[in-house]
């Protein structure tokens, strides 16, 4: 991805850097008058769209400079969704480095923990950039002055709508009620006016409205751009619509939307499980629906800095995660190499390549078909269509057992046998689904949200030795945002 400008928005509704001399930065989403272009160009608009993607990346120091305690060195999804779950722990060898991560892992945090500030900052920065792009693209007077190709205009607007929806999806799942900002803010008064939480139901309405607006603007093709395949596609929009329906337990909508996605004919389970993650297969396989395209050697930098953290010993499997795999399941070694202390999925390699590279080319996978199919299985299960649910679970297992082992050999006969297709025991089938999601999607930022939406988080995480309480189904609003809003942004219950 080529970014043509430096970021001009701050990242949280009242985000300020911690240094004393920096305490008078502008609020989030605020564009100062000297930053407003009275005569935007096509390049300005496409740069606004491209910049909206950047907050989904694992590139280091996009916000601030080595501000670990503010959670902004790198997007902290792996802390909030993997380390907080029972799948991952902070490091292979526990130590005192970055204790704020340990606080999240043990659910012994306060609302001042940097992880919450970090994810809030990344998401609202992304929203601010998307809002700027949308404000240009929906301004008839501005567009009338530009000779912008209609296809490019439509695609750009769809991308901005999708990205705004994606960031709000993450915010509502982490925090519940949050402020909704739908336009660039041009004054402190405007910033204070929107510094109020709206009900989560209203956030979901906005997510769905943005996705509905994006969908007809995109071509009926696998990629919306043949030369930049990382861009949002119609398939990505449909998939996020299905995920929104899943999280709101609208089972018939999930089934309908996933069926629509399958009917496009663009996506299939890769024959080899690891092709989803292998750097050499990026945008040359059949399963990934939406991913952030990290690239090495770009200015501004656009590589995957998480690979540097892996070399520093961060992100290790829990014994519980390792024990979840059935004997000879090849997905285990494709996910983690315990003797080498490698998380292969996150490195994009099975030989340790990219480990230690803070500018690695490894993409970040956000949506892939196996995940989507298991949403459909869950919707069938909750609709009491047991046979259909089991068939999907078995298709995911079949792909796993027909994937060669990490050394290229076939898996042993009898590995990952099909689940009983005639079972009518709903609880049994649900346990099969939970198991399959855990081993198929480990270290892909899904486990903690799954446990929450199933209402299993308290039981599972308490059993894992964590101090999970009922209030932890939502994370606290960053305390700095509450304080700087003068209390108009209220803290979540229990914090």
For 434-493, how does the pLDDT look when each residue is reduced to its tens digit (9 = 90+)? 999 999 999 999 999 999 999 999 999 999 999 999 999 999 999 999 999 988 999 999
The whole-number pLDDT of residue 308 equals 98
The whole-number pLDDT of residue 37 equals 52
Does residue 31 surpass a pLDDT of 90?
no
| SS (HEC) of the chain | CCCCCCCCCCCCCCCCCCCHHHCCCCCCCECCHHHCCCCCCHHHHHHHHHHHHHCCCCCCCCCCCCCHHHCCCCCCHHHHHHHCCCCEEEECCCCCCCHHHHHHHHCCCCCCCHHHHHHHHHHHHHHHHHHHHHHHHCCHHHHHCCCCCHHHHHHHHHHHHHHHHHHHHHHHHHHCCECCCCCCECCHHHHHHCCCCECHHHHHHHHHHHHHHHHHHCCCCCCCCCCCCCCCCHHHHHHHHHHHHHHCCCHHHHHHHHHHHHHCCCCCCCCCHHHHCCHHHCCCCCCEEEEECCECCCCCCECECHHHHHHCCEEEECHHHHHCCCCCCCHHHHHCECCCCECHHHHCCCCCCCCCCCCECCCEEEEEHHHHHHHHHHHHHHCCCHHHHHHHHHHHHHHHHHCCCCCCCCCCCCCCCCCCCCCCCHHHHHHHHHHHHHHHCCCCCCHHHHHHHCCCHHHHHHHCCCCCCHHHHCCCCCHHHHHHCCCCCCCCCCC
Confirm if 142 and 40 have CB atoms less than 8 A apart. yes
Are the folds of 1-217 and 224-442 the same?
A: yes
Q: What is the mean pLDDT of residues 237-245?
A: 99
CATH architecture for segment(s) 1-217: Alpha Horseshoe (1.25)
The whole-number pLDDT of residue 188 equals 77
351 pLDDT band (50/70/90 cuts)? very high
Does residue 7 surpass a pLDDT of 50?
no
Vertex 413, ends 407 and 414: CA angle to 5°?
A: 120
Confirm if 210 and 133 have CB atoms less than 8 A apart. no
Q: What is the mean pLDDT of residues 306-329?
A: 98
Displacement of CA 122 from its chain's centroid (Å): 11
Vertex 374, ends 369 and 377: CA angle to 5°?
A: 130
The whole-number pLDDT of residue 192 equals 81
Q: What is the mean pLDDT of residues 122-143?
A: 96
Phi then psi dihedrals of residue 328, to 5 deg: 70, 10
Q: What is the mean pLDDT of residues 49-77?
A: 96
Does residue 110 surpass a pLDDT of 50?
yes
> 224-442 — its CATH code?
1.25.40.390
Q: How far apart are CA 440 and CA 399, in angstroms?
A: 10
Structure tokens at 271: 């024959």
Domain segments of the chain: what residues? 1-217, 224-442
Does residue 11 surpass a pLDDT of 70?
no
Pick from 24-38, 91-105, 165-179, 289-303: least confident: 24-38
The whole-number pLDDT of residue 286 equals 98
Averaged pLDDT score across all residues of the chain: 92
Does residue 360 surpass a pLDDT of 60?
yes
The whole-number pLDDT of residue 38 equals 61
pTM of the model: 0.93
């Amino acid at each position: 991805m080529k970014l043509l400008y430096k970021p001009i928005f701050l990242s949280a509704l009242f985000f300020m850097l911690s240094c004393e001399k920096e305490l008078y930065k502008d609020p989030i989403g605020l564009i100062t008058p000297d930053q407003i272009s009275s005569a935007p160009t096509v390049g300005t608009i496409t740069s606004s769209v491209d910049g909206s993607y950047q907050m989904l990346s694992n590139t280091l120091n996009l916000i601030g400079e080595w501000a670990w305690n503010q959670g902004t060195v790198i997007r902290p999804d792996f802390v909030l969704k993997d380390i907080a779950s029972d799948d991952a722990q902070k490091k292979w060898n526990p130590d005192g480095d970055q204790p704020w991560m340990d606080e999240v892992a043990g659910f012994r945090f306060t609302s001042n923990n940097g992880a919450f500030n970090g994810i809030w900052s990344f998401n609202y920065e992304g929203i601010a950039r998307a809002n700027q792009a949308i404000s240009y693209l929906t301004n008839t007077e501005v567009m009338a002055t530009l000779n912008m190709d209609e296809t490019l205009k439509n695609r750009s607007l769809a991308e901005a709508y999708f990205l705004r929806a994606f960031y709000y999806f993450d915010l509502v799942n982490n925090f519940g009620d949050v402020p909704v900002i739908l336009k660039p803010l041009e004054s402190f008064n405007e910033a204070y006016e929107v510094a109020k939480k709206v009900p989560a139901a209203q956030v979901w309405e906005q997510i769905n409205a943005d996705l509905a607006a994006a969908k007809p603007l995109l071509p009926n093709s696998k990629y919306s751009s043949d030369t930049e395949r990382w861009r949002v596609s119609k398939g990505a929009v449909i998939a996020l619509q299905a995920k929104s329906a899943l999280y709101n337990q609208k089972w018939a909508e999930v089934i309908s939307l996933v069926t629509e996605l399958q009917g496009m004919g663009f996506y299939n389970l890769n024959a080899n499980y690891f092709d989803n993650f292998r750097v050499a297969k990026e945008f040359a396989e059949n399963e990934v629906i939406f991913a952030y395209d990290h690239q090495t050697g770009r200015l501004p930098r656009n590589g995957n800095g998480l690979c540097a953290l892996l070399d520093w010993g961060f992100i290790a499997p829990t014994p519980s995660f390792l024990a979840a795999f059935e004997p000879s399941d090849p997905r285990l070694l494709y996910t983690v190499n315990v003797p080498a202390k490698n998380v292969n999925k996150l490195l994009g390699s099975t030989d340790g390549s990219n480990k230690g590279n803070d500018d690695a080319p490894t993409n970040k996978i956000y949506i892939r078909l196996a995940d989507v199919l298991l949403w459909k299985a869950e919707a069938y299960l909750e609709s009491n269509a047991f046979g259909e649910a089991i068939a999907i679970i078995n298709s995911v297992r079949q792909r796993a057992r027909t994937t060669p082992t990490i050394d290229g050999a076939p898996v042993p006969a009898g590995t990952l046998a099909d689940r009983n297709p005639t079972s009518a025991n709903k609880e049994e089938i649900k346990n099969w689904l939970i198991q399959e999601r855990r081993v198929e999607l480990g270290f892909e930022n899904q486990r903690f949200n799954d446990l929450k939406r199933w209402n299993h988080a308290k039981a599972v995480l308490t059993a894992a030795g964590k101090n999970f309480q009922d209030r932890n189904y939502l994370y606290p609003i960053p305390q700095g945002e509450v304080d700087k809003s003068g209390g108009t942004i209220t803290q979540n219950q229990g914090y």
